[in-house]
Amino acid sequence: MSSISTHLMPDAPALLEAHARSMPQKDELCGAFWASLALETLTGTQVTQDEVAIAAGTLLSLSSDAADSLPPGQLGRRDYVLDLPTTPDVELAGTAPGGVLRALEVVSGGSVAGIPTAGPWTEETVLALAALAAAQPRAVLLLNAATRFLWGSHASMSHAIRYLLGEDVVTPPADWDVGHFLGVIGVMEGPGGRLLLCADTYPSLGVRGLHVQPPEAIAESLRREDSSFSGGAILAVPAEVRTAVQRQITDAGLQVELWDNGCRSPQMDSERIPPAAGLRRAAPTSRITMEKS
Protein backbone atom coordinates (compact mmCIF):
# COMPACT_ATOMS: atom_id res chain seq x y z
CA MET A 1 0.00 0.00 0.00
CA SER A 2 1.29 3.47 -0.89
CA SER A 3 1.88 5.77 2.07
CA ILE A 4 1.72 9.55 2.39
CA SER A 5 3.39 11.32 5.30
CA THR A 6 3.23 14.87 6.65
CA HIS A 7 6.17 16.67 8.24
CA LEU A 8 5.23 19.84 10.14
CA MET A 9 7.49 22.79 10.85
CA PRO A 10 8.68 22.93 14.49
CA ASP A 11 6.39 25.79 15.53
CA ALA A 12 3.41 24.82 13.34
CA PRO A 13 0.85 24.43 16.18
CA ALA A 14 1.60 27.86 17.70
CA LEU A 15 1.80 29.46 14.26
CA LEU A 16 -1.54 28.02 13.18
CA GLU A 17 -3.23 29.22 16.36
CA ALA A 18 -1.98 32.78 15.76
CA HIS A 19 -2.83 32.50 12.06
CA ALA A 20 -6.46 31.49 12.65
CA ARG A 21 -6.93 34.31 15.16
CA SER A 22 -5.32 37.02 12.98
CA MET A 23 -6.93 36.48 9.57
CA PRO A 24 -7.65 38.26 7.38
CA GLN A 25 -4.67 40.50 6.76
CA LYS A 26 -5.33 44.22 6.57
CA ASP A 27 -5.20 45.59 3.03
CA GLU A 28 -1.62 45.74 1.64
CA LEU A 29 -0.13 44.37 4.88
CA CYS A 30 0.63 40.77 3.89
CA GLY A 31 4.32 41.22 4.78
CA ALA A 32 3.43 42.82 8.11
CA PHE A 33 0.81 40.11 8.74
CA TRP A 34 3.39 37.36 8.38
CA ALA A 35 6.10 39.18 10.30
CA SER A 36 3.64 39.66 13.18
CA LEU A 37 2.84 35.92 13.19
CA ALA A 38 6.53 35.02 13.13
CA LEU A 39 7.18 37.38 16.04
CA GLU A 40 4.30 35.98 18.10
CA THR A 41 5.31 32.40 17.34
CA LEU A 42 8.97 32.90 18.28
CA THR A 43 8.53 35.28 21.23
CA GLY A 44 5.09 34.45 22.62
CA THR A 45 4.10 38.12 22.48
CA GLN A 46 1.24 39.36 20.31
CA VAL A 47 1.94 42.38 18.12
CA THR A 48 -0.43 44.07 15.69
CA GLN A 49 -0.03 44.16 11.94
CA ASP A 50 0.08 47.96 12.21
CA GLU A 51 2.97 47.96 14.69
CA VAL A 52 4.97 45.68 12.42
CA ALA A 53 4.06 47.74 9.35
CA ILE A 54 5.42 50.91 10.99
CA ALA A 55 8.69 49.17 11.86
CA ALA A 56 8.92 47.73 8.34
CA GLY A 57 8.25 51.02 6.55
CA THR A 58 5.22 49.56 4.77
CA LEU A 59 3.45 51.92 2.39
CA LEU A 60 -0.31 51.98 1.78
CA SER A 61 -1.65 52.92 -1.63
CA LEU A 62 -3.87 55.97 -2.09
CA SER A 63 -5.19 54.51 -5.34
CA SER A 64 -8.63 52.93 -5.66
CA ASP A 65 -6.89 50.21 -7.68
CA ALA A 66 -5.67 48.72 -4.39
CA ALA A 67 -8.97 46.80 -4.16
CA ASP A 68 -7.88 44.83 -7.23
CA SER A 69 -5.20 43.15 -5.13
CA LEU A 70 -7.80 41.15 -3.15
CA PRO A 71 -8.57 37.54 -4.09
CA PRO A 72 -12.00 36.91 -5.63
CA GLY A 73 -14.85 37.13 -3.15
CA GLN A 74 -12.69 38.53 -0.36
CA LEU A 75 -13.74 41.70 1.43
CA GLY A 76 -11.02 44.21 2.23
CA ARG A 77 -9.96 45.18 5.71
CA ARG A 78 -8.81 48.73 6.46
CA ASP A 79 -9.31 48.99 10.22
CA TYR A 80 -5.84 50.41 10.78
CA VAL A 81 -5.10 51.51 14.33
CA LEU A 82 -1.95 53.49 13.50
CA ASP A 83 -1.27 56.21 10.96
CA LEU A 84 0.61 54.31 8.24
CA PRO A 85 2.58 56.14 5.50
CA THR A 86 1.02 56.24 2.03
CA THR A 87 2.05 56.53 -1.60
CA PRO A 88 0.06 57.62 -4.69
CA ASP A 89 1.82 54.89 -6.70
CA VAL A 90 0.10 51.52 -6.23
CA GLU A 91 3.16 49.76 -7.66
CA LEU A 92 5.33 50.91 -4.74
CA ALA A 93 2.87 49.98 -1.98
CA GLY A 94 3.42 47.04 0.34
CA THR A 95 6.45 45.82 2.26
CA ALA A 96 9.98 45.36 0.92
CA PRO A 97 11.89 42.28 2.13
CA GLY A 98 14.41 44.48 3.93
CA GLY A 99 11.49 45.99 5.83
CA VAL A 100 10.39 42.56 7.05
CA LEU A 101 13.93 41.90 8.32
CA ARG A 102 14.03 45.25 10.08
CA ALA A 103 10.64 44.70 11.70
CA LEU A 104 11.56 41.23 12.99
CA GLU A 105 14.68 42.58 14.65
CA VAL A 106 13.35 45.93 15.90
CA VAL A 107 9.99 44.74 17.25
CA SER A 108 11.56 41.72 18.98
CA GLY A 109 14.25 43.87 20.59
CA GLY A 110 16.90 41.90 18.74
CA SER A 111 15.77 38.44 19.85
CA VAL A 112 14.47 37.38 16.40
CA ALA A 113 16.44 37.47 13.15
CA GLY A 114 15.20 37.12 9.60
CA ILE A 115 17.49 35.41 7.09
CA PRO A 116 16.63 36.36 3.48
CA THR A 117 17.19 33.89 0.67
CA ALA A 118 17.13 34.95 -2.98
CA GLY A 119 17.59 31.62 -4.73
CA PRO A 120 18.52 30.19 -7.17
CA TRP A 121 15.03 28.74 -7.07
CA THR A 122 14.37 25.23 -8.32
CA GLU A 123 12.15 22.43 -7.05
CA GLU A 124 15.20 21.00 -5.29
CA THR A 125 16.26 24.22 -3.55
CA VAL A 126 12.70 24.98 -2.40
CA LEU A 127 12.52 21.53 -0.80
CA ALA A 128 16.01 21.94 0.65
CA LEU A 129 15.03 25.21 2.34
CA ALA A 130 11.82 23.68 3.68
CA ALA A 131 13.78 20.71 5.07
CA LEU A 132 16.31 23.05 6.63
CA ALA A 133 13.52 25.07 8.28
CA ALA A 134 11.87 21.91 9.58
CA ALA A 135 15.18 20.78 11.11
CA GLN A 136 15.46 23.92 13.31
CA PRO A 137 14.23 23.78 16.91
CA ARG A 138 12.45 27.14 16.34
CA ALA A 139 11.73 28.66 12.94
CA VAL A 140 9.06 30.26 10.74
CA LEU A 141 9.43 30.13 6.95
CA LEU A 142 7.93 32.96 4.86
CA LEU A 143 7.70 33.10 1.07
CA ASN A 144 7.34 36.23 -1.09
CA ALA A 145 5.64 34.64 -4.11
CA ALA A 146 3.93 35.78 -7.31
CA THR A 147 0.54 34.14 -6.98
CA ARG A 148 -0.08 33.75 -10.72
CA PHE A 149 2.31 30.78 -10.80
CA LEU A 150 0.62 28.85 -7.99
CA TRP A 151 -2.02 26.15 -8.02
CA GLY A 152 -5.50 27.47 -7.38
CA SER A 153 -5.93 27.38 -3.60
CA HIS A 154 -9.04 25.20 -3.86
CA ALA A 155 -7.26 22.25 -5.41
CA SER A 156 -8.98 19.21 -3.91
CA MET A 157 -7.70 16.43 -1.67
CA SER A 158 -8.01 14.21 -4.73
CA HIS A 159 -5.62 16.50 -6.64
CA ALA A 160 -3.14 16.39 -3.78
CA ILE A 161 -3.23 12.62 -3.29
CA ARG A 162 -2.94 11.86 -7.00
CA TYR A 163 -0.02 14.29 -7.31
CA LEU A 164 1.75 12.69 -4.33
CA LEU A 165 1.27 9.29 -5.94
CA GLY A 166 3.00 10.54 -9.08
CA GLU A 167 -0.05 10.99 -11.32
CA ASP A 168 -0.55 13.88 -13.71
CA VAL A 169 -3.24 16.23 -12.40
CA VAL A 170 -5.04 19.25 -13.83
CA THR A 171 -5.59 21.70 -10.98
CA PRO A 172 -7.68 24.89 -10.77
CA PRO A 173 -5.96 28.02 -12.14
CA ALA A 174 -4.38 30.56 -9.81
CA ASP A 175 -6.90 32.51 -7.74
CA TRP A 176 -5.28 35.93 -8.34
CA ASP A 177 -2.20 37.72 -9.61
CA VAL A 178 -0.19 39.72 -7.07
CA GLY A 179 3.14 39.61 -5.26
CA HIS A 180 2.29 38.15 -1.87
CA PHE A 181 3.72 36.84 1.41
CA LEU A 182 2.58 33.45 2.68
CA GLY A 183 3.89 30.93 5.19
CA VAL A 184 4.99 27.29 5.01
CA ILE A 185 3.80 25.04 7.83
CA GLY A 186 4.94 21.65 6.57
CA VAL A 187 5.61 19.24 3.74
CA MET A 188 3.52 16.30 2.53
CA GLU A 189 5.48 13.45 0.97
CA GLY A 190 4.31 10.54 -1.16
CA PRO A 191 5.96 7.94 -3.42
CA GLY A 192 5.57 10.23 -6.45
CA GLY A 193 6.21 13.73 -5.14
CA ARG A 194 6.01 16.30 -2.36
CA LEU A 195 3.73 19.25 -1.63
CA LEU A 196 4.25 22.26 0.60
CA LEU A 197 1.54 22.96 3.17
CA CYS A 198 0.99 26.71 2.95
CA ALA A 199 -0.85 29.12 5.23
CA ASP A 200 -2.26 32.23 3.57
CA THR A 201 -3.57 35.58 4.78
CA TYR A 202 -7.24 35.29 3.74
CA PRO A 203 -9.82 32.69 4.89
CA SER A 204 -11.32 32.70 1.39
CA LEU A 205 -8.19 30.99 0.06
CA GLY A 206 -8.01 27.22 0.40
CA VAL A 207 -9.59 25.81 3.55
CA ARG A 208 -9.66 28.72 5.99
CA GLY A 209 -6.40 30.02 4.56
CA LEU A 210 -4.61 26.67 4.19
CA HIS A 211 -3.68 25.12 0.84
CA VAL A 212 -1.04 22.94 -0.80
CA GLN A 213 1.47 23.90 -3.48
CA PRO A 214 3.97 21.84 -5.51
CA PRO A 215 7.60 22.91 -5.04
CA GLU A 216 8.06 23.52 -8.77
CA ALA A 217 5.20 26.06 -8.72
CA ILE A 218 6.67 27.71 -5.63
CA ALA A 219 10.06 27.93 -7.36
CA GLU A 220 8.50 29.56 -10.42
CA SER A 221 6.60 32.01 -8.22
CA LEU A 222 9.84 33.06 -6.55
CA ARG A 223 11.86 33.37 -9.78
CA ARG A 224 9.18 35.51 -11.52
CA GLU A 225 11.02 35.23 -14.84
CA ASP A 226 8.42 37.36 -16.65
CA SER A 227 9.13 40.38 -14.42
CA SER A 228 11.97 42.67 -13.42
CA PHE A 229 10.95 42.07 -9.81
CA SER A 230 11.69 38.84 -8.01
CA GLY A 231 10.64 36.87 -4.97
CA GLY A 232 12.43 35.15 -2.16
CA ALA A 233 12.12 33.57 1.26
CA ILE A 234 12.75 34.69 4.82
CA LEU A 235 13.55 32.21 7.56
CA ALA A 236 12.78 33.77 10.96
CA VAL A 237 14.82 32.21 13.78
CA PRO A 238 16.09 33.12 17.26
CA ALA A 239 18.86 35.67 16.79
CA GLU A 240 21.50 33.55 18.53
CA VAL A 241 21.39 30.91 15.78
CA ARG A 242 21.39 33.33 12.83
CA THR A 243 25.03 32.78 11.83
CA ALA A 244 24.79 29.00 12.02
CA VAL A 245 21.54 28.90 10.01
CA GLN A 246 22.94 31.29 7.37
CA ARG A 247 25.83 28.86 6.93
CA GLN A 248 23.40 25.96 6.50
CA ILE A 249 21.49 27.90 3.85
CA THR A 250 24.61 28.67 1.82
CA ASP A 251 25.78 25.06 2.23
CA ALA A 252 22.47 24.05 0.61
CA GLY A 253 23.41 26.08 -2.49
CA LEU A 254 21.20 29.09 -1.74
CA GLN A 255 22.20 32.76 -1.59
CA VAL A 256 21.66 34.73 1.62
CA GLU A 257 20.70 38.08 0.14
CA LEU A 258 17.79 40.46 -0.38
CA TRP A 259 15.65 40.57 -3.51
CA ASP A 260 13.71 43.42 -5.13
CA ASN A 261 9.94 42.85 -5.00
CA GLY A 262 9.18 46.37 -6.25
CA CYS A 263 8.06 47.86 -2.92
CA ARG A 264 9.60 51.00 -1.44
CA SER A 265 9.41 52.75 1.92
CA PRO A 266 10.54 55.92 3.68
CA GLN A 267 13.46 53.95 5.20
CA MET A 268 14.73 52.32 2.03
CA ASP A 269 18.00 50.52 1.45
CA SER A 270 20.62 50.60 4.19
CA GLU A 271 18.35 52.16 6.83
CA ARG A 272 15.88 49.29 6.42
CA ILE A 273 18.40 46.47 6.77
CA PRO A 274 19.73 45.40 10.18
CA PRO A 275 23.50 46.21 10.08
CA ALA A 276 24.36 42.79 11.51
CA ALA A 277 22.83 41.02 8.54
CA GLY A 278 25.69 41.94 6.16
CA LEU A 279 23.56 41.45 3.09
CA ARG A 280 23.70 42.36 -0.57
CA ARG A 281 20.82 42.76 -3.00
CA ALA A 282 20.02 40.37 -5.81
CA ALA A 283 19.97 41.82 -9.32
CA PRO A 284 16.54 42.02 -11.04
CA THR A 285 15.75 40.66 -14.51
CA SER A 286 13.37 42.25 -17.06
CA ARG A 287 10.01 43.72 -16.22
CA ILE A 288 6.71 42.79 -17.86
CA THR A 289 4.03 42.91 -15.15
CA MET A 290 3.45 44.90 -12.00
CA GLU A 291 4.14 43.25 -8.64
CA LYS A 292 2.78 44.18 -5.25
CA SER A 293 3.73 42.66 -1.94
270 CB-contact burial (10 Å; exposed 0-12 / middle 13-18 / buried 19+): exposed
Pairing of strands 112-117, 140-146: unpaired
Compute the radius of gyration of the chain from its Cα atoms: 17
Quote the CA–CA distance of 64 and 221 in Å, as a whole number.
26
Q: Cα–Cα distances in Å, from 178 out to 39, 150, 235, 262?
A: 24, 11, 21, 12
Show the low-confidence residues of the chain (pLDDT under 70). Answer: 1, 63-67, 265-293
Judge whether 285 and 260 are in contact, CB under 8 Å.
no
- The reported pTM is 0.90
Q: 96-114 burial string, b = 16+ CB within 10 Å, else e?
A: bbbbbbbbbbbbbeeebbb
Q: Give the contacts of 248 (CB within 8 A, at least 6 positions apart).
A: 132
Cis peptide before 10 (omega within 30 of 0): no
Q: Residue 274: what pLDDT?
A: 39
Residue 239's pLDDT is 98
Residue in 41, 157, 50 with CA at minimum distance from that of residue 95: 50
Burial of 207 (0-12, 13-18, 19+ CB in 10 A): exposed
